[in-house]
């Protein structure tokens, strides 16, 4: 309760539950209705993975391509799986899972504020802030896509389980909390050991280690034997860490994983300085402290925007200050949370400032790594300002004002998109957004299976309730190729869909497509137009005819030499890549494709001419950017020839290259490459 203002404190405490209730209602409206206006394919992934689990009967589908070593163990997609027995896998299934996630996030926040030993006033104010969304982008990170909201609630539950274990008596109670601590730690490490180390283990082991040291110091002062409660709890965390890491390593061997952002690099000083400014910019955006461009300054909206700017800047300074002021060498759950928050924030901030982990070209999106830490820091600051009366009166009340702005920001966080599109017709809870209208058009045209770029594919699949299945592709070197990240290899198998398919590209995307080259493989398509969307309809599955799609190579595939062929030396004339005498180097690399386990024959059609001294060049099949050579053969003879390289693999290969090199000792021409699957030794038996 606020000192010197007991009546005001009681009045605020009386009205805070009403504010909290309004925030929760607006949050539900945002997730069910408003979020349709900002729905995107990243958010649709949880629907798609849930469907893949149901279709394959595998909780970790073998054909799914995970990214950055992230295994979706008990992530938000889990809430969708049981719903698919009762409803279509459409947007309402997504909204239902988000409502469950929101309830879990708010429950975890209530547990966290309890660990902070706060007054009812401070706890309710903290809940009001977290339930308010704070900004459109923060609401997206916490509740919409919910990826970082789930990281946050796992931290809340792990802290609660750890502290409950240290307070549990011997026997059944201690056994249950030990199991909970081990299970929660194992889950976060199973999901991603590297991230779990930064977000959970390092902060919790530091906080628990400090509590253990304080416990031993107090026991020595009182000439008593230390109880070792924190030592046991730390041991349970370490046990969960080991179990989760082993499970992660084992599971990653059974599935496909794209390295992506795990290949991070250090930045130079200038890069670190740029990232520091970008982090400040991004955090200000999270707190809605960056006004919308071209907004009027002299207006009510402009006055409110100025308050949000000042409030965000205050919070950027006061949140670290609040952690610093809260750090005390004392025992108790409050200090456990404070130290945890300090280490988690510092570790993630260090990685963001000094490495390439975050792409700071979009700061408001890149600072998402700090969202779980910021959500933990906010209740700590609120407790300091409300319960402890920390700081001088003016900065303290300024801080409370900034917190009040966050607590009352639900209307601007949750209603902004809807206010701009209230004119849209609806069918029940479903708004006729442009994306929804496009999904309906696909259904009306009977287009059931097709391909589009990532940001169009996944969301259209979900918005159509699965009636129009649109799989993500990327246009590379003039041809559509599977975009396998967070996708299933099954989607691109010829046998997955028999019959008509389509390629859907917007006008700007169509400019990158080599229509003539695609037609040479797939034939002439039928064309449909819908606004700026071009729908090229083929009578068969594109996966059966475009090279690189079928990773099992059930039918032989041919690669032509054209203007999009990857090379360093040579020139293409009439479909032939040629290097002249004296030109040394790579006349073909790529196509950077994927191959399933099996045996393969890769045939190169070459033509060489020269005096025959030494080698004309060499051919090979490589992965890992050339670091791994699977088979290699020199080209010694002159004249036209077809050279076949055979190799096998017992695991899925990614970024496979068929390479041809010239020594410069004669003319070297390459007119085409063919790959076919051949029987393995076991298959021959």
* Confidence (pLDDT) at 346: 95
Q: Average pLDDT, whole number, for the chain?
A: 91
* Confidence (pLDDT) at 212: 93
3, with CB counted inside 10 A (0-12, 13-18, 19+), is exposed
Q: Is the pLDDT of residue 302 over 90?
A: no
Q: How many CB atoms lie within 10 A of CB 292?
A: 9
* Confidence (pLDDT) at 672: 94
Residue 495, CA atoms < 13 Å, CB-side half-sphere = 5
Q: Are 163 and 333 in contact (CB under 8 A)?
A: yes
657: β partners? 591, 622
Q: Is the pLDDT of residue 116 over 50?
A: yes
Q: Is the pLDDT of residue 261 over 60?
A: no
Label residue 433 by pLDDT band (50, 70, 90). very high
Label residue 3 by pLDDT band (50, 70, 90). very low
**Of 541, 536, 490, 546, which Cα lies nearest the Cα of 510?**
536
Where are the chain's structural domains? Answer: 6-417, 433-544, 557-684
pTM assigned to the model: 0.90
Residue 140 token pair: 């997206």
Residue 405 token pair: 């702005």
Q: Is the pLDDT of residue 27 over 80?
A: yes
C-alpha 624/C-alpha 519 separation (Å) is 32
Label residue 4 by pLDDT band (50, 70, 90). very low
- Mean pLDDT of all residues in 531-552: 93
Residue 283 token pair: 């955090």
How distant, in Å, are the alpha carbons of 153, 170, 205, 274, 659 from that of 234?
20, 16, 7, 38, 52
What are the pLDDT digits (tens) for 371-397? 999 999 999 999 999 988 766 788 888
* Confidence (pLDDT) at 169: 83
Provide the percentage of residues in the chain whose pLDDT is more than 70. 96
For the chain, the first-to-last Cα distance in angstroms comes to: 80
Residue 162 token pair: 């750890």
Label residue 522 by pLDDT band (50, 70, 90). very high
C-alpha 438/C-alpha 211 separation (Å) is 57
Q: Is the pLDDT of residue 5 over 50?
A: no
Q: Are 201 and 326 in contact (CB under 8 A)?
A: no
Q: Are 342 and 335 in contact (CB under 8 A)?
A: no
**Of 395, 183, 516, 135, which Cα lies nearest the Cα of 288?**
135
Contacts of residue 20, defined as CB under 8 A and 6 or more positions apart, other chains included, come to 124, 127, 128, 131
- Mean pLDDT of all residues in 673-679: 92
Q: Is the pLDDT of residue 682 over 60?
A: no
- Mean pLDDT of all residues in 317-324: 93
Q: Is the pLDDT of residue 681 over 80?
A: no
* Confidence (pLDDT) at 9: 63
C-alpha 303/C-alpha 380 separation (Å) is 29
Label residue 293 by pLDDT band (50, 70, 90). low
* Confidence (pLDDT) at 652: 87
DSSP code at position 392: -
193 alpha carbon, distance to own chain's centre? 15
* Confidence (pLDDT) at 1: 40
Q: Is the pLDDT of residue 281 over 80?
A: yes
What CATH class has 557-684?
A: mainly beta
**Of 204, 199, 201, which Cα lies nearest the Cα of 230?**
204
DSSP string, 8-67: HHHHHHHHHHHHHHHHHHHHHHHHHTGGGGT--HHHHHHHHHHHHHHHHS-SS-TTBEEE
Label residue 2 by pLDDT band (50, 70, 90). very low
- Mean pLDDT of all residues in 214-219: 88
Residue 513 token pair: 């497509």
Three-state SS string across 99-143, please?
A: HHHHHHHHHHHHHHHHHCCCCHHHHHHHHHHHHCCCCHHHHHHHH
Range from 243-257, 452-466, 612-626 carrying the lowest mean pLDDT: 612-626
Match 């050991």 to its residue by tokens.
Answer: 193
Residue 64 token pair: 């799914």
**Of 260, 280, 268, 263, which Cα lies nearest the Cα of 354?**
268
Helix (H) or strand (E) holding 427: strand 426-427
Q: Are 156 and 148 in contact (CB under 8 A)?
A: no
How many separate helices (H) and strands (E) can be counted in the chain? 23, 21
* Confidence (pLDDT) at 8: 59
Rounded-to-10 torsion of CA 79, 82, 87, 88: 70
Sign, Cα dihedral of 385, 389, 392, 398:
positive
Q: Is the pLDDT of residue 263 over 70?
A: no
């Amino acid at each position: 309760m606020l000192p010197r203002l007991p009546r005001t404190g009681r009045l605020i405490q009386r009205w805070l539950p009403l504010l909290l209730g309004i925030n929760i209602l607006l949050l539900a409206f945002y997730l069910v209705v408003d979020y349709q206006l900002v729905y995107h394919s990243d958010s649709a992934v949880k629907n798609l993975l849930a469907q893949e689990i149901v279709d394959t009967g595998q909780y970790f589908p073998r054909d799914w391509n995970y990214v950055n070593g992230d295994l979706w163990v008990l992530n938000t997609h889990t809430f969708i799986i049981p719903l698919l027995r009762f409803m279509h896998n459409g947007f309402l299934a997504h909204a239902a899972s988000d409502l469950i996630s929101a309830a879990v996030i708010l429950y975890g926040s209530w547990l966290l504020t309890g660990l902070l030993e706060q007054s009812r006033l401070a706890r309710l104010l903290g809940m009001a802030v977290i339930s308010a969304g704070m900004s459109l982008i923060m609401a997206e990170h916490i509740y919409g896509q919910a990826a970082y909201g789930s990281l946050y609630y796992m931290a809340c539950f792990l802290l609660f389980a750890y502290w409950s274990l240290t307070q549990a008596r011997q026997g059944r109670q201690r056994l249950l909390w030990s199991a909970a601590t081990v299970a929660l730690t194992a889950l976060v490490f199973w999901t991603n050991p590297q991230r779990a180390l930064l977000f959970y283990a390092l902060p919790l082991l530091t906080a628990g280690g400090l509590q253990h040291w304080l416990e031993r110091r107090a026991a020595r002062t009182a000439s008593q034997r230390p109880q070792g409660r924190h030592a046991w709890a730390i041991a349970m965390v370490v046990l969960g860490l080991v179990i989760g890491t082993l499970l992660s390593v084992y599971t990653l061997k059974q599935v496909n994983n794209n390295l992506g952002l795990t290949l991070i690099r250090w930045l130079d000083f200038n890069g670190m300085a740029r990232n520091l400014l970008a982090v400040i910019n991004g955090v200000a955006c999270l707190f809605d402290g960056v006004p919308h461009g071209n907004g009027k300054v002299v207006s009510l909206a402009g006055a409110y925007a100025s308050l949000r700017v000042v409030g965000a800047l205050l919070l950027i300074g006061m949140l670290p200050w609040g952690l610093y002021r809260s750090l005390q060498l004392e025992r108790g759950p409050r200090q456990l949370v404070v130290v945890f928050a300090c280490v988690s924030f510092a570790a993630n901030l260090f990685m963001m400032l000094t490495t390439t982990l975050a792409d700071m070209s979009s700061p408001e999106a890149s600072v998402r790594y700090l969202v779980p830490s910021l959500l933990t820091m906010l209740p700590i600051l609120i407790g300091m300002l409300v319960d402890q009366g920390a700081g001088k009166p003016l900065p303290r009340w300024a801080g409370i004002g900034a917190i009040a702005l966050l607590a009352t920001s639900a209307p601007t966080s949750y209603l902004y998109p809807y206010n701009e599109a209230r004119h849209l017709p609806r069918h029940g809870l479903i708004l006729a957004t442009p994306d929804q209208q496009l999904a309906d058009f696909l259904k009306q045209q009977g287009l059931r299976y097709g391909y589009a770029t990532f940001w169009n594919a996944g969301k259209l699949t979900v918005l159509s309730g699965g009636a129009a299945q649109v799989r993500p592709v990327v246009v590379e070197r003039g041809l559509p190729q599977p975009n396998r990240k967070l996708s299933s290899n099954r989607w691109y198998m010829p046998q997955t869909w028999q019959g008509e398919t389509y390629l859907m590209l917007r006008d700007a995307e169509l400019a990158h497509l080599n229509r003539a080259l695609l037609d040479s493989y797939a034939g002439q398509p039928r064309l449909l137009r819908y606004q700026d969307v071009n729908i090229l309809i083929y009578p068969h599955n594109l996966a059966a005819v475009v090279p690189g799609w079928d990773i099992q190579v059930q039918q032989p595939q041919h690669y032509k030499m054209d203007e999009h062929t990857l090379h360093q030396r040579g020139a293409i004339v009439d479909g032939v890549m040629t290097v002249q005498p004296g030109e040394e180097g790579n006349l073909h690399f790529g196509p950077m494709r994927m191959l399933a386990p099996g045996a393969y024959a890769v045939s190169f059609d070459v033509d060489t001419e020269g005096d025959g001294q030494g080698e004309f060049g060499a051919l090979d099949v490589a992965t890992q950017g050339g670091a791994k050579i699977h088979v290699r053969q020199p080209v010694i003879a002159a004249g036209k020839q077809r050279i076949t390289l055979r190799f096998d693999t017992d695991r899925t290969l990614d970024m496979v290259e068929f390479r041809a090199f010239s020594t410069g000792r004669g003319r070297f021409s390459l007119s085409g490459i063919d790959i076919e699957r051949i029987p393995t030794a076991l298959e021959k038996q």
